[in-house]
A = this chain, B = another copy of it.
Amino acid sequence: MELDKILEFKYTPEINEKLIDYGFTKTFAEGDVILNENAYIKAIPIVMSGSIRVMRTDDDDREILLYYIKAGESCIMSFLGGMHHDTSKVKAIAEEPTEILFVPIDKVNILIKDYPEWLDYIFRLYHKRFEELLDVVNAIAFKKLDERLLDFIKKKCQINDNNTLVITHEHIANELGTARVVVSRLLKQMEQEGLVTLGRNKIILH
């Protein structure tokens, strides 16, 4: 396992070894729920390969996308929750086949004490997530659905490095926290404006 190439921060081979030594890996298939709302957190996850999407869910069954966790990153909510023996406030789902290294909380504390670089890595991630959350607040507070939808499509395409998206309207609606018909309606409108081309399970961005 080449953690060196996966983790994005600069660290010594020692941290590498310790992480693998202290932790254990698990693999998840696309769609697997990695962490459920209100679950207790005993270990912090580091994504080795694949990616995770983190959602906030309502008391009903509506949910909304917060951000993605990519290879080399960790779930910062888990980290803080774990540090303070709290439960998770979010739900994490594998976007694709994903391999995760779980490092027990108590070991994490040791690492922080011994390796300042590791702490810096944590801070950096925190900062990133915080800003992403602010973007979400911005979007749902001030932007209209059509703009959010287009942003969503562009972002997904960018990740795939591809202008064709394989996804259902239903799925999009869930991530944006709205209903399927609304997404279908807006997509049709966008198609008529020449922004996209639609197909079954498929959206082509122009």
A89 at the interface (CB under 8 A from B): yes
- Tell whether, in the assembled complex, residue A80 and residue B130 are in contact, meaning their CB atoms are under 8 Å apart: yes
Residues of B within 8 A of A81 (CB): 127
A136 to chain B: closest CB distance in Å?
A: 6
In the assembled complex, the Cα of A124 lies from the Cα of B119 at a distance in Å of 15
A binding-site residues for B, Cβ under 8 Å: 56, 58, 60, 62, 64, 66, 76-77, 80-81, 83-84, 86, 89-90, 112-113, 116, 119, 123-124, 126-127, 129-131, 133-134, 136-138, 140-142, 177
A85 to chain B: closest CB distance in Å?
A: 11
In the assembled complex, the Cα of A117 lies from the Cα of B131 at a distance in Å of 26
- Tell whether, in the assembled complex, residue A140 and residue B138 are in contact, meaning their CB atoms are under 8 Å apart: no
A122 to chain B: closest CB distance in Å?
A: 9
> With A89-B134, A130-B133, A137-B64 in contact, do A142 and B177 touch (Cβ < 8 Å)?
yes
In the assembled complex, the Cα of A151 lies from the Cα of B113 at a distance in Å of 41
- Tell whether, in the assembled complex, residue A127 and residue B83 are in contact, meaning their CB atoms are under 8 Å apart: yes
Q: A86-B127, A140-B140, A141-B177 are in contact. List 7 more A-B contacts (CB 8 A).
A: A58-B142, A62-B141, A66-B137, A119-B119, A130-B133, A133-B133, A133-B137
- Tell whether, in the assembled complex, residue A134 and residue B56 are in contact, meaning their CB atoms are under 8 Å apart: yes
Q: Point out the residue from B77, B119, B137, B142 that lies within 8 Å of A136, measured CB to CB.
A: B137
- Tell whether, in the assembled complex, residue B58 and residue A130 are in contact, meaning their CB atoms are under 8 Å apart: no
Residues of B within 8 A of A56 (CB): 134, 137-138, 141
Residues of B within 8 A of A84 (CB): 123-124, 127
- Tell whether, in the assembled complex, residue B134 and residue A90 are in contact, meaning their CB atoms are under 8 Å apart: yes
In the assembled complex, the Cα of A58 lies from the Cα of B140 at a distance in Å of 11
Residues of B within 8 A of A77 (CB): 130
> With A133-B130, A134-B56 in contact, do A123 and B89 touch (Cβ < 8 Å)?
no
Nearest B residue (CB) for A86 = B127
> With A138-B56, A177-B141 in contact, do A80 and B123 touch (Cβ < 8 Å)?
yes
